[in-house]
Amino acid sequence: MNAFQDAEAAFSANYHEARAAFLEAASAAGAQRQHHACPARGPGGEALHTDTAWLGDPGAPKVLVVLSGTHGVEGFCGSGFQVHWLRAGLHRQLPADTAVLLVHALNPYGFAWLRRVNEDNVDLNRNYLDWRQPPPDNPGYRDIADAVLPARLDGPVAAEAEAVLARYRQQVGELAFYRALASGQFIDPQGMFYGGSGPTWSNRTLHAVMAELLGRATDVTCIDMHTGLGPYGHGDLISDHEPGTDAAQRVRRFWGDGVSESRRGQTLPLVQDGPTHFGVTRALPHARVTFGTLEFGTYERDLGRAALRADHWLHRHGDPLGPEAAPIKQALRRQFYPDTLDWKEAVLFRAHQLVRMAIAGMQGASAQRGQPVRD
């Protein structure tokens, strides 16, 4: 017997199954649904959408927002949880003043094509800058750009690139290496972890959803679901709130001592203002915003880098629909979606726990220690 009933059934095999499961579960739960058509197409030329489901009073002052698929291929995880939450009927237990907004497949192109980036090769979690300012510099990426993404994945070219990266890593240390590689860059539109040159379609879509549905909310908690960082199956709730602020204290009160704070150096800080955290907090100045990035660990980080590099190589130098695509896509999918029962159970347990804590926290309860208090 599974720890969670129907755990397997909530997770889908591809974007289209995930979308159908989400829309059906949302409809069965009586959600208000909206559909946003993406300008990009799937591998078979098919249409792609970001969909939303609103559960609860349309005028509720308190809203919990759960985002899936910011990083395309990571959407298997967030979608599975969203579907499971809907099917479990947990919306029926919401306090009267609280609504839940589920945003499904924020980057549907990446989900459908099994990519982390979007249709513009942009890492959406580096794209939420205030674009009136010039984007930040990442001098480290400049030093290693050619080695990060060599023209070939094997042979002497690839070996030399790996040697360059190994020397750089040795020279600057682990933290500076990953900061250079992965914190975001704005100089190479075809490179890895590219933050873009303006707000992407997914960024603009999230802003449109917030403007339309969260304009009246005064208390918004947002969980943005990701995978690929940390130990296998472990769900790390990461806060980008400044230590010492009310928001940082709220994160602790809602979610307890298991939180990692990027501003305390407990996890790698990304480019200033790039992550979803900053897009959401900046867009809702009228509301009290509590934001957590939920990262589920999968396999080791260097495997992830290799899988991402191969995928970038495929879309830059190869044929994403050709015969060399299958093993590359398979490795990437596995890296960001292990597709095993134990991993799915761990995801469901932790995500349900954090959602339950967030809803209780907005009711004023200290969710960690005591029993959640309801009105």
Pick the piece of the chain touching Zn ion (CB under 5 A) from 6-14, 129-137, 145-153, 225-233: 225-233
Verify binding: residue 126, Zn ion, rule CB under 5 A. Answer: no
- Would you count residue 36 as binding Zn ion (CB under 5 A)? no
Q: Which residues contact 1 (CB under 8 A, 6 or more apart)?
A: none
Is the CB of 168 or the CB of 337 nearer to Zn ion? 337
> Total residues at the site for Zn ion (CB under 5 A)?
3
Q: How far is the CB of 127 from Zn ion (least distance, A)?
A: 12
Rounded to 10°, the helix 201-213/276-283 angle is 30
Q: Give the shortest CB-334-to-Zn ion separation in angstroms.
A: 15
In the chain, where does DSSP find H-type helix? 7-10, 15-28, 75-87, 108-113, 139-148, 155-172, 174-182, 201-213, 246-255, 276-283, 301-317, 325-336, 341-362
Taking the least distance from each CB to Zn ion, the nearer of 119 and 219 is 119
Site for Zn ion in 54-83 (CB under 5 A): 71, 74
Closest separation between CB of residue 295 and Zn ion, Å?
7
Q: Min. distance of Cβ 94 from Zn ion in angstroms? A: 27
Cβ count within 10 A of residue 323: 8
CA atoms within 13 Å, Cβ hemisphere of 300: 2
Using CB under 5 A as the criterion, what x/- string covers residues 138-177 for binding Zn ion?
Answer: ----------------------------------------
Compare residues 250 and 309 and give the one whose CB is closer to Zn ion: 309
CB of 74 to Zn ion, least distance (A): 5
Residue 226 binding Zn ion, by CB under 5 A: yes
Instruction: Name the minimum Å distance from CB 89 to Zn ion.
Output: 29
| Alpha carbon distance 252, 260 (integer Å) | 10
Nearest residue to Zn ion, using CB?
Answer: 226
Instruction: For residues 118 and 128, give the distance between their C-alpha atoms in angstroms, rounded to a whole number.
Output: 14
Dist CA 144 CA 185 (whole Å): 12
- Cβ partners under 8 Å of residue 13, min gap 6: none
Q: Which residues bind Zn ion (CB under 5 A)?
A: 71, 74, 226
